[in-house]
A and B are shown apart, each in its own frame.
Chain A
Amino acid sequence: MAHLHRIVHGVSRVGAIVGGAMLMLAAIVICVDVTMRYAFARTLGGADELSGYALAIASAWGFSSALLSRSHIRIDTVYVRVGSRARATLDLLSLACFVLFIALVAWHGWGVLQQSWVSGSRSMNELETPLVIPQALWVAGLVFFVAVALLLLVRALPLYLAGDLRRLFDLIGSKSAVAEAEEEIRAIEHAIEGERKP
């Protein structure tokens, strides 16, 4: 189980990095496009369309990365004021709701994909991209999220029953805003450290 968890972590990390690289690439293409339009009154065409796909795919694959790093925002006004057993219950409830919601989106997303496949839909821009390609990658990201969230549920439930709440919080607990802020700061300090060294 822990082994599976590591694999999932790795896949989700790669998904996020590839998604980010797609976005960066899209930004570079758009930049070239804008420069050409401004300087030579010509465009490559399709840069905006591609960046839209990049956003859809990157965010679908990023959902799981954000889940694993517990970055999805939760309002913890009540959460921090109840006992640890109740907190663990809320954590499970939150995760279950997330699974339900994204599973529904993925299910209907699958419908959208099927529709595009059957009718052979293409985008209405100059690229005429067959929509099944970006949509398949997008749905795959959503399905992966559901799998990751289910895995987390399966791992957290025994911890809950055994009363091992500390490990449960590590896995699916709500990160406090203070902890969130501290992570942000560490990243920045790390970035600025680099500047001071040379």
Chain B
Amino acid sequence: MTVAVSLIVLLAVLGSSIAVAAGMGITGLILNQLYSPLPLTRVMGELAWATTNNFILTAIPFYIMFGEILLRSGIAERMYSALIQWLSWLPGGLMHSNIGACALFGSVSGSSVATAATIGVVAMGEIDKHKYNERLFLGTLAAGGTLGILIPPSINMIIYGVMTDTSVPKLYLAGFIPGLILTVLFSLTVLIACLWRPHWGGQKVPTNWEARIRLLPDLLPPLVLLMVVVGAIFFGIATATESAAVGIVGALAITAWRRRLTLAMLIEVCEATVRTTAMVVAILVGAFFLNIVIQTIGLTQQLSRLITAYQLTPVQVLTAVIVLYLVLGTFMEELSMMISTIPITTPLILQAGYDPVWYGILIVLLIQTAMVTPPFGINLFVIQGIRGRGRLSDVEWGAAPFVIALLLMIGLICVFPEIAMWLPRLVG
């Protein structure tokens, strides 16, 4: 009964377009009034202070800031030109460069929207220049961009880690191999499509070894940053937050080297970072409060009792959760979907015997899928916005083959959890 009422209240509040942060807080207040013997509002102050003044969470503004600086450092365009030389000989041409550039930029950026938008802006002009199949080309950008949150660093993994008390470095390690496999799967999707319909692949771009070698230095800045930021975590030299801080200094250095470090640029970076951070932190404060109310009124225990009562097997629980996310993901904004559901789904999955690190990777893959499935898929909007012509449905159709690749990847890590778990276990 409590379960049903709680869900209805949450859906009604969030559905009536109340800002998600406030909505979760208000839902917490209502449930507290209805079911809790104690007035939990008293813990609000302590909770809000402890939540926002949390060293692990500092990684969130740091990665946001890191991305904002990189965006303005001018590395994306040069990186893309270099990748054209290296990858465009494959059937599908530049579409492989799109995916490669997204993977590489994603490996220094913690956000999917930023990845899709940055590579999208750089690549968009090439569709007409080389007569590509527009839909598929747009699809590579929308889907490739989602790699930003799977390949570490990842803002979504930090949020998951903090909310579920899971080690963020372990999550990063776990995301690495699935990220590589998914990149290859995306490229294979393009390859298969272009072997089936060769004219989709556009005109060949002339490439040669001389240019490949000459442009190699343009690939270096992102690679070096990647090694520093992710390497430091892998080898246990720095925590996720510390490595993000090192990344900021590195990105500032690159920007200065490119002579693009100005006061105006720094002010832009600071303002944009704080705005995005505040938006995320507001939601987290609401979610943490709701989480405490949910725990106090025993909602999770009731849910698990329900599962026991219906004698659901672990696989059935997992399937139900995956279907839930696929459905929610079609119409809900991805970040709020993740934060509002994690407190409910994670205990269920853990009780069913799955590993929290593995589940974190699964959630990220499900969110990636949500980002490219209509009607609400943020990456579809981003790519359509950059394109600035035609219909949104072109991007939706173009992304469809990559949704299949994503579903395949979800199936793969469910059947072979080792894909995600091998690296974290190896490092310890």
Q: Please list the residues of chain A having a beta carbon within 8 angstroms of any beta carbon in chain B.
A: 13, 16-17, 19-21, 23-24, 26-28, 30-31, 33-34, 38, 48-49, 51-56, 58-63, 65-66, 69, 71-79, 90-91, 93-94, 97-98, 100-102, 104-105, 107-112, 134-135, 138, 174, 177-178, 180-182, 184-185, 187-189, 191-192, 194-196, 198
- Say yes or no: B385 contacts A93, CB within 8 Å: no
- A108–B396 Cα distance when bound, in Å, is 46
- Which residue of B77, B232, B279 contacts A192 across the interface (Cβ within 8 Å)? B77
Residue of B nearest to A177 (CB): B381
Interface string of B17-45 (1 = CB under 8 A from A): 11111110110010000000000011111
CB of B405 to closest CB in A, whole Å? 23
A19-B20 contact, Cβ under 8 Å, with A55-B57, A56-B52, A108-B44: no
- Say yes or no: B58 contacts A174, CB within 8 Å: no
Return chain B residues, CB-CB under 8 Å to A108.
Answer: 41-46, 48
A195-B77 contact, Cβ under 8 Å, with A101-B26, A178-B385: yes
Return chain B residues, CB-CB under 8 Å to A51.
Answer: 55, 58, 241, 245
- Say yes or no: A73 contacts B335, CB within 8 Å: yes
Interface string of B261-284 (1 = CB under 8 A from A): 000001101111111111101110
Can you list the 3 inter-chain pairs with the closest CB atoms, starting with the nearest?
Answer: A20-B270, A62-B278, A108-B45
B89 in contact (CB, < 8 A): no
- Which residue of B17, B48, B277 contacts A62 across the interface (Cβ within 8 Å)? B277
Return chain A residues, CB-CB under 8 Å to B25.
Answer: 101, 104-105
CB of B43 to closest CB in A, whole Å? 8
30 contacts between A and B (CB under 8 A): A16-B275, A20-B269, A20-B273, A27-B62, A27-B248, A30-B245, A34-B232, A34-B246, A38-B237, A48-B55, A49-B55, A52-B54, A54-B58, A55-B277, A59-B52, A63-B278, A65-B274, A72-B279, A90-B17, A90-B18, A97-B18, A97-B22, A108-B43, A108-B44, A109-B45, A111-B45, A135-B49, A178-B385, A185-B385, A192-B118
- A20–B278 Cα distance when bound, in Å, is 11
- A48–B76 Cα distance when bound, in Å, is 31
- Say yes or no: B275 contacts A62, CB within 8 Å: yes
B331 in contact (CB, < 8 A): yes
- A52–B242 Cα distance when bound, in Å, is 12
- Say yes or no: B332 contacts A75, CB within 8 Å: yes
- Which residue of B21, B61, B333 contacts A177 across the interface (Cβ within 8 Å)? B333
Give the one of A54, A55, A112, A198 with max B CB within 10 A. A55
B198 in contact (CB, < 8 A): no
CB of A88 to closest CB in B, whole Å? 11
- A20–B277 Cα distance when bound, in Å, is 10
Chain A contact surface mostly:
helix
Interface string of B376-403 (1 = CB under 8 A from A): 1010011011100000000000000000
Residue of A nearest to B340 (CB): A75
Which residues from 55 to 112 on chain B have a C-beta closer than 8 Å to any C-beta of chain A?
55, 57-58, 60-62, 65, 71-72, 74, 76-77
B329 in contact (CB, < 8 A): no
- Say yes or no: A138 contacts B49, CB within 8 Å: yes
- Say yes or no: A23 contacts B62, CB within 8 Å: yes
- A177–B113 Cα distance when bound, in Å, is 12
- A174–B22 Cα distance when bound, in Å, is 14
- Say yes or no: A192 contacts B278, CB within 8 Å: no
- A6–B31 Cα distance when bound, in Å, is 38
A72-B282 contact, Cβ under 8 Å, with A98-B21, A185-B386: yes
CB of A181 to closest CB in B, whole Å? 4
- Say yes or no: B241 contacts A58, CB within 8 Å: no
> Told that A58-B277, A191-B71 touch, could you supply 16 new A-B pairs with CB distance under 8 A?
A19-B274, A20-B270, A20-B271, A21-B266, A62-B277, A75-B333, A76-B17, A78-B15, A97-B23, A101-B22, A104-B25, A187-B272, A188-B118, A191-B72, A192-B74, A192-B118
Return chain B residues, CB-CB under 8 Å to A21.
Answer: 266, 270
Residue of A nearest to B16 (CB): A90
Return chain A residues, CB-CB under 8 Å to B19.
Answer: 72-74, 94, 97-98
A94-B17 contact, Cβ under 8 Å, with A75-B332, A77-B331: yes
B348 in contact (CB, < 8 A): no
CB of B82 to closest CB in A, whole Å? 14
- Which residue of A31, A56, A59, A177 contacts B274 across the interface (Cβ within 8 Å)? A59
- Say yes or no: B58 contacts A55, CB within 8 Å: yes
A94-B22 contact, Cβ under 8 Å, with A17-B267, A59-B274: yes
- A51–B74 Cα distance when bound, in Å, is 28
- A104–B259 Cα distance when bound, in Å, is 47
